[in-house]
Structure 1
Amino acid sequence: MYYQKKLLTFRNKINDIDKTILRLLSDRKKIIVKIVHNKIFYNLSIKDKKREQEILEKLFKIGKKYFLSNYYIKKIFKNIIHESVKIQQKIKNKYITKNIFTTPCFTFLGPKGSYSYLATIKYAKKKFQYFNIKTQVNFQQIFQSIKNKISHFTIVPIENTYSGFINEIYSLLLLRKINIIDEVVTPIQHHLITKNITHLKNIKTIYSHPQPFEQCNKFLKTFKNLKIQYTNSTTDAIRKILTIQNNYSAAIGNKEKIKTYQLKNHKNKITNQKYNNTKFFILQNKKFKKFPNVTTKIICIINIKQYLELTNKILFLLTQNKINILKIELKSNHYKIFWENTIYLEIQKYPLSKKIKTILKKIKNIN
């Protein structure tokens, strides 16, 4: 009969719509799987009530255009969201039990207890649920570990509020193709540490890494005929005074070392500045499969010869494209390695990554 044929036509249309809905739900599920991988690596909660409420509110606004009630939309999408959470939780549980992803590995300078160690733990715990750490004895080895794919990431100090840029790191960055993917700032407070209780005037030799010596030089000037001994890290300095059988030696380090090695805090807070921080870069080998990235800015180190002319060109290019410059600074060569001057540049990262890539290519070609 005619009405049955008419009804069948409508039902077939509904069937087609249902198939489209199922296909879209399948596409949605694929994206959910990608999302949960990000959540696992960055130790984020699976359920996000704020995000769920935002989704519903947006859908309510859209639903009004199509004459769909809030109740109807809420009923459908509550089930979709519930299923999404279920899928994510299942994948996360599988990851925890079988560890199906490569656990990210970090390298840093010095043994456990060094400032680089503290910065590494601070960053890694914030970003990852599980991670491994490996120590290196000097910066050359750290950069080699990235090149040889011994680690996924390395954390290196780049700038201190008192002593400024750390030239060795700066030079090593220029000579290698490495991604700077993030940064972490750690408070630095140095202490004069001794093995036994002794008078300050009795100390004849102090051990530490070159950076603490620079950051505490005002205090060190109070000594007469002081002998300074450089070590690979502040932890190495502590270990050195542990082996010396006299009361004339001291080391510069942090409070963690005093507790760990049961030493004496001979002089508290000897840093030149009351508020002393060190910025650490998180580096990643370009050849590694990229881990999820939360970078909020882009850092460039640009080798230049004609400083003024090229700087003006770079500034013009960035301002022309309405790119927010966070920091720009000229660096002169301290190590005389293939370059005369460089520009250190920090710019805000934008969602339009293609635009940023184009601008970075133009900057590269300016020189």
Structure 2
Amino acid sequence: MELDQIRIEISDTDQQLLGLLSKRRALALAVAEAKLAQNKPIRDQKREQELLVSLIEKGKPLGLDAGYVTKLYHVIIEDSVLQQQAKVQGQLNGENGPVCRVAFLGRQGSYSYWATQKYFTRRAEKLIEIGCDSFNEIVQAVETGHADYAVLPIENTSSGSINEVFDLLQHTRLSIVGELTHPIKHCLMGLPGTNLANIRQICAHPQVIAQCSNYLQSLSQVKIEYCEASSDAFERVRQAKDLSVVAIGGEEGGALYGLEVLGRDLANQKDNVSRFIVVARKAIAVAKAIPAKTTFIMYTGQQPGALVDALLVLKQHGISMGKLESRPIPGNPWEEMFYVDVLANLEDYAMTRALDELNRITRFVKVLGCYPSEDVSPTQVQS
């Protein structure tokens, strides 16, 4: 066969694959309806494991190795789980409308922009993007009704917690209604024709600079320009029209501004992932069929053993803690508020009892939100 003919057949095959993937997603959503009617959990990892084993065996005579099949279906299964959860939550809380207004940091091309796209494409037919210049502006957009939701980065595997966001959560009336993780792949981006040897200025968000500190330390005679978001960094490079000015950010984002990749994998850690939270004016209920997280803050006071006593309450009620973060209380020197993520539904009996007890033994407890967990761990099969 001629090369052109082979490529035509590949395109035809790809079109068929897309049709089949669309059909499979529709069937997965139908499964969610059936599970909800039968009061069954959305995820059934035993069934997933059986499915993977069967598919691996069926793929062998077709020349498809186990690693290829497993990797492919991990993506498909994750998509099915998240699509099903979004559908169930939409029905329960009336979330999935035709239009959704979402505030996020930066403009098109920022990491928060891509996280917003990733989360809300499962929940709204049309997305109205509201780019903001600061975390405070994002929160205000939702509090004043200008936006329905906000997407906020809260922690990163390389640079740790984003303290400004944690501090905003102390005072806002908003509730956490969702979460997602998003891989962060930092690239050095410049105008076409840029030579690495001639770089004199790098534009990037402070969090990006923290995550790429090892790489930046290897450079000499280079000025660091702090930006409000990665999209702002890209725009500065485009506007400068100077081949000595570059930016650090995502490859897809930089391409929107006409920039080219000069270097990849700049983060201190190879697996660089950011966790984002979604906040809204109204709290939501999480369906029993979906794994849930609850986030709350508490002030235990300064007496010895107060924090230990509070954490023992969670242990005694069989509640797993996913995160514990401390932040200073403004106006109270050397005193701290603790942020706690637990793997529990706010409506669970054990969680209700634990919060009642915490209210008795601590100075202050405030629930920031109960929301579906989007941690979809890959189903493992024996080799």
Q: Which residue of structure 2 aligns with residue 348 of structure 1?
A: 343
Correspondence 1:304-343 to 2 at 5 A: 304-306=300-302, 309-329=305-325, 331-333=326-328, 336=330, 340-343=335-338
Asked if 2 retains the 8 angstrom alpha-carbon contact of 1:208 and 1:252, the reply is yes
Q: Which residue of structure 1 aligns with residue 3 of structure 2?
A: none
Aligned length: 279
Q: Which residue of structure 2 aligns with residue 17 of structure 1?
A: none
Asked if 1 retains the 8 angstrom alpha-carbon contact of 2:149 and 2:280, the reply is yes
Q: Distance in 2 between matches of 1:326 and 1:48?
A: 29
C-alpha displacement of 1:273: 1.0
Return closer, same or farther for 1:361/1:103 CA change in 2, 3 Å cut-off: farther
Does 2:244 match 1:261? no
Q: Distance in 2 between matches of 1:289 and 1:212?
A: 31
Q: Which residue of structure 1 aligns with residue 185 of structure 2?
A: 189
TM-score (ref. length: structure 1): 0.67
Q: Which residue of structure 1 aligns with residue 11 of structure 2?
A: none
Structure 2 letter corresponding to 1:257: G
Q: Distance in 1 between matches of 2:175 and 2:27?
A: 24
C-alpha displacement of 1:291: 7.9
Correspondence 1:199-348 to 2 at 5 A: 199-285=195-281, 288=282, 290=284, 296-306=292-302, 309-329=305-325, 331-333=326-328, 336=330, 340-348=335-343
Return closer, same or farther for 1:229/1:53 CA change in 2, 3 Å cut-off: closer
Structure 2 letter corresponding to 1:160: N
Correspondence 1:66-77 to 2 at 5 A: none
Q: Distance in 2 between matches of 1:298 and 1:53?
A: 22
Q: Distance in 2 between matches of 1:200 and 1:121?
A: 32
Q: Which stretch of the first structure deviates more once superposed, 207-216 or 314-323?
A: 314-323
What RMSD in Å do the two structures reach over aligned CA positions? Answer: 3.2
Between structure 1 and structure 2, the one with the greater Rg is: 1
Asked if 2 retains the 8 angstrom alpha-carbon contact of 1:298 and 1:346, the reply is yes
C-alpha displacement of 1:278: 0.1
Residue from 358, 362, 376 that aligns with 1:363: 358
Does 2:174 match 1:178? yes
Structure 2 letter corresponding to 1:344: Y
Q: Distance in 2 between matches of 1:142 and 1:337?
A: 25
CA deviations over 1:335-364 (Å, ceiling 9, x no partner): 956573232311122474465345334424
Q: Distance in 1 between matches of 2:121 and 2:285?
A: 15
Return closer, same or farther for 1:179/1:112 CA change in 2, 3 Å cut-off: same
CA deviations over 1:123-174 (Å, ceiling 9, x no partner): 1123344443321121110011121122221110000001100011111111
Asked if 2 retains the 8 angstrom alpha-carbon contact of 1:193 and 1:265, the reply is yes
Higher relative contact order (CA 8 A, sep 6+): 2
Unaligned residue ranges in structure 1 (runs of 5+): 1-42, 56-99
C-alpha displacement of 1:301: 2.8
Q: Would you identify which runs of 4 or more consecutive aligned residues in structure 1 move more than 6 Å?
A: 43-46
Return closer, same or farther for 1:189/1:289 CA change in 2, 3 Å cut-off: closer
Structure 2 letter corresponding to 1:51: A
Asked if 1 retains the 8 angstrom alpha-carbon contact of 2:188 and 2:262, the reply is yes
Identical aligned pairs, as a percentage? 26
Q: Distance in 1 between matches of 2:215 and 2:32?
A: 53
C-alpha displacement of 1:254: 0.6
Q: Distance in 1 between matches of 2:242 and 2:323?
A: 48
Asked if 2 retains the 8 angstrom alpha-carbon contact of 1:219 and 1:272, the reply is yes
C-alpha displacement of 1:196: 3.4
Asked if 2 retains the 8 angstrom alpha-carbon contact of 1:302 and 1:342, the reply is yes
Structure 1 letter corresponding to 2:249: G
Unaligned residue ranges in structure 2 (runs of 5+): 1-25, 39-95, 364-383
Does 2:131 match 1:135? yes
Q: Distance in 2 between matches of 1:102 and 1:198?
A: 43
Return closer, same or farther for 1:338/1:181 CA change in 2, 3 Å cut-off: farther
Return closer, same or farther for 1:130/1:238 CA change in 2, 3 Å cut-off: closer
Does 2:143 match 1:160? no
C-alpha displacement of 1:332: 4.3
Return closer, same or farther for 1:338/1:112 CA change in 2, 3 Å cut-off: farther
C-alpha displacement of 1:249: 0.9
Return closer, same or farther for 1:138/1:214 CA change in 2, 3 Å cut-off: same
- SS of the residue corresponding to residue 250 of structure 1 reads strand
TM-score (ref. length: structure 2): 0.65
Structure 1 letter corresponding to 2:338: I
